[in-house]
Amino acid sequence: MALNLIRKLMISSLFCFAAGSASAETFVFTAIPDQDETKLVERFQGVADYLSNELGVDVRYVPVKSYAAAVSAFRNNQVQLAWFGGLSGVQARRLVPGSEAIAQGVEDEAFRTYFIANTSTGVEPAEQLSALEDELRGKTFTFGSKGSTSGRLMPEFYIREAFEAAPEEFFSRVGFSGNHTRTLRLVEAGTYQVGALNFQVWETELANGNVDTDAVQVIWKTPTYPDYQWTIRGDVNERFGDGFKQRVTEALVNMDDPELLKSFPRSGFIPASNDDYEPIRQTAEEIGILD
């Protein structure tokens, strides 16, 4: 009888442990690595703490090494939420039917890319990119990440439109820095003569005194386009309970901690939808980045 009692207690304990684990399932998110890793970890640990408090569940941020890795983690359900750029969000939602863009930064409705040049090139700012054709032809040029909207997709689109040539045909050498901060540093140092980066990174680094304006300057600003957004998997309600997707959306839109918003940097978040990113999808298909 003693053995039977022990077995029952063990079974009961195991059942309680399993039930407790299921109810305490972790909600995991990631973000595209568009800036230095230390900045991203600081920013998104704050977001994880905020969401955990708002949602009443354990929330964890996991960093990734590339834009493609962020999309893969979302596709494989290793993460249920992601801070994507316009292009990476389109790619992820194509791979995971039912997933939705639920929130974007206020500034993401009308985002821009800045083209920058080392001042040693003598290239001066212009209102139209086409006006810089002679000055830019044959220069060295760096994009950011291959999967970046503001660091690759949109600048490549405007290069093709203005110069009627692929970047590799127009510039003497084309590179991919990996992220916006690195693009700024490479052009500032003269490693590349010209580059394209997220306007928010430029403005933030400039405001913080981290740009040598004697060495690098903005030479052209793109028209606006939709960019970053929070995208969530369509099966989160099944996994975390009815209404969970709406609760996440509300938590993001209601985020008002000045320090947390400043770290993005965004003035706030607003609702978004997949339809908002149709221009990005169409542009990506037009230049052959999406099949």
Q: What is the pLDDT of residue 40?
A: 85
- State the Cα torsion 238-241-242-243 to the nearest 10°: -110
- More confident: 236 or 38: 236
Q: What is the pLDDT of residue 42?
A: 86
Question: Is there a shared CATH topology between the 2-108+227-286 domain and the 112-221 domain?
Answer: yes
Pick from 2, 4, 7, 48: nearest CA to 26: 48
Q: What is the pLDDT of residue 34?
A: 81
Q: Is the pLDDT of residue 240 over 80?
A: yes
Q: Is the pLDDT of residue 241 over 70?
A: yes
Give yes or no for a contact between 61 and 117, defined as CB atoms under 8 angstroms apart: no
Q: What is the pLDDT of residue 188?
A: 98
Give yes or no for a contact between 287 and 146, defined as CB atoms under 8 angstroms apart: no
Q: Is the pLDDT of residue 129 over 90?
A: yes
With b for 16 or more beta-carbon neighbours within 10 A and e for fewer, the 223-238 pattern comes to eebbbbbbbbbeebee
Phi, psi (rounded to 5 degrees) for 255 = -65, 120
Q: Is the pLDDT of residue 58 over 70?
A: yes
What class is the 2-108+227-286 domain?
A: alpha beta
pLDDT in tens, 80-121: 999 999 999 999 999 999 999 999 999 999 999 999 999 999
Phi, psi (rounded to 5 degrees) for 219 = -110, -20
Could you give the CA distance from residue 245 to residue 250 in angstroms, rounded to a whole number?
9
Q: What is the pLDDT of residue 2?
A: 43
Length of the chain: 291
With b for 16 or more beta-carbon neighbours within 10 A and e for fewer, the 57-83 pattern comes to bebebeebebbebbbebbbeeebbbbb
Q: What is the pTM of this model?
A: 0.83
Contact residues for 112 (Cβ-Cβ < 8 A; gap 6+): 150, 199, 221, 222, 223, 224, 225
- What topology does CATH give the domain 112-221? D-Maltodextrin-Binding Protein; domain 2 (3.40.190)
Q: Residue ranges of the domains in the chain?
A: 2-108+227-286, 112-221
Q: What is the pLDDT of residue 19?
A: 32
pLDDT, mean over the chain = 91
- 242: DSSP letter: T
Could you give the CA distance from residue 17 to residue 239 in angstroms, rounded to a whole number?
18
Residue 3: pLDDT band by 50, 70, 90 thresholds? very low
Residue 26: pLDDT band by 50, 70, 90 thresholds? very high
Q: What is the pLDDT of residue 8?
A: 40
Q: What is the mean pLDDT of residues 50-63?
A: 96
pLDDT cut 90: percent of the chain above it: 84
